[in-house]
Amino acid sequence: MDHFSRRKFIKSTVLMGAASMVGCNSTPEVDDAKIFAPPPANSPASTLVGKVPTGVLGKTGVTVPILSHGGGYELNNVMVARAFDLGINYFDVADCYLNGQSEAILGKVLEKQGKRKEAFVVTKNHPKQFKDLLVMVDQRLTSLRTDYLDLYFMHQLGDAEYPKECVDWPKSKELKEVVEALKKQKKIKFFGFSCHAGILPQALEAAAEGGFVDAIMLRYNFREVNSDALNRAIDKAKQANIGLIAMKTQGGRVSFQEKADAFKEKGFNQAQSTLKAVWADGRMDTIVSNMPSLQIVQENAMAALQKEISQTERQMLDDYAKATNHLVCHGCDHLCSSQVNSPVRIGDTLRYLMYHDNYEEYSRAKDLFGKLPLEAREAIFTTDFKMAEAACPYNLEIGKMMHKAAHKLA
């Protein structure tokens, strides 16, 4: 698949995913004929041999591949089998991915292949209060056709659906008790949260302090190297031996393709280089990557097998970052939000704009924006963003982008 086809493929599957990511509570039927269909006759041969290198997921002590399968795209029997061939046994799903189907599909495939014990299964929920987790875990077990979860996450901690005080949840004694109860019942082996909101640095530090969070899935990519607060917090979490799982490693996509294509002629492979940059950082135990085709699984696995990033690749990635950094919000809104006397949520709003414009996840972006408090949405039109723009290290035109978000996502 050439770059253009890959781009078109990603675009079409993103659209399918986006259309089906709304309505997290439904339990749709899974199409068995589709999941267990043989690969199409014209599908490219999988030529790669070898196993993706492994690492240890922090204090869990579990050996995991450095490349893991994200569940934002539809998995099937063939893709899961190929992943196992390449040593990728970590599968990340959630109650809401693919309209609830991601868990059901993975559960059915693992059951049919008899591979549940070989798999490391991770899923997630948005609890409103701690005791919700007790019920939610049972639902996850049912959907996944299993009696235990390897790792269970509070999903996207800090998003609009959570109360403001959720930043302290990773050190809450009450939450710790719920987690211990779930572990005692042997329903979950490990516990943590995923986060890409502006509270990420504080949440990482709270987890390091609280001592009971086993692993965290966090936004981390080649664009984050300049974020001192995030890097300090990652160091603290690492010192506390919390397993760290990188997501959003591509740092924005699709609409930057033209920029990436300009580097391609020099041998730059955007997806592979961005993965290598995260592995080179050395603090992330694995990367969860959405790999919607056998070809992409193979390309990413190839990057893992030759994971050292060359100086030329690094230079091209740096140049690519410089050319695109001002186009995408990096989520460090402790820097800009403190500069506006207003209830607006800059980091969240601009992330939803990225889902809309870069990922083309239109419904999801609008849904999330709609969940922001009304005052946070309305204040966009009355806020002066000049001071925030002056504080943004990436020179984003925050005012313009916030207005664009309000118009597109309302």
Q: Which residue in 141, 157, 329, 368 binds ligand SF4 (CB under 6 A)?
A: 329
Does position 333 interact with ligand SF4 (CB under 6 A)? The reply is: yes
Does position 87 interact with ligand SF4 (CB under 6 A)? The reply is: no
User: Is-contact 300 52, C-beta < 8 A?
Assistant: no
Return phi, psi of residue 89, to 5°: -115, 5
Does position 394 interact with ligand SF4 (CB under 6 A)? The reply is: yes
Instruction: Look up residue 66 and give its amino acid.
Output: I
- The smaller minimum CB distance to ligand SF4, of residues 151 and 336, is found at 336
Q: How many residues of this chain interact with ligand SF4, rule: CB under 6 A?
A: 14
- The smaller minimum CB distance to ligand SF4, of residues 57 and 197, is found at 197
- The smaller minimum CB distance to ligand SF4, of residues 103 and 333, is found at 333
Query: And the tokens for 316?
Result: 């091209």
Q: Which residue in 86, 288, 396, 406 binds ligand SF4 (CB under 6 A)?
A: 396
User: Is-contact 301 258, C-beta < 8 A?
Assistant: no
Q: Which residue in 70, 72, 252, 347 binds ligand SF4 (CB under 6 A)?
A: 347
- The smaller minimum CB distance to ligand SF4, of residues 91 and 394, is found at 394
Surface-to-core class of residue 52, CB atoms within 10 Å of its CB (0-12 exposed, 13-18 middle, 19+ buried): buried
User: Is-contact 331 340, C-beta < 8 A?
Assistant: no
Does position 392 interact with ligand SF4 (CB under 6 A)? The reply is: yes
**Which residues contact residue 265 at a Cβ distance below 8 angstroms, ignoring those fewer than 6 apart?**
none
CB of residue 394 to ligand SF4, shortest distance in Å: 5
Does position 357 interact with ligand SF4 (CB under 6 A)? The reply is: no
Between CA 306 and CA 271 the distance in angstroms is 14
Dihedral sign (CA 249, 254, 259, 260): positive
Q: Nearest-CA neighbor of 405 among 343, 335, 357?
A: 357
Q: Which residue in 218, 271, 350, 379 binds ligand SF4 (CB under 6 A)?
A: 350
> Near ligand SF4 by CB under 6 A, which window of 103-111, 266-274, 277-285, 333-341?
333-341
Residues that bind ligand SF4 (CB under 6 A): 329-333, 335-336, 346-347, 350, 392, 394, 396, 398
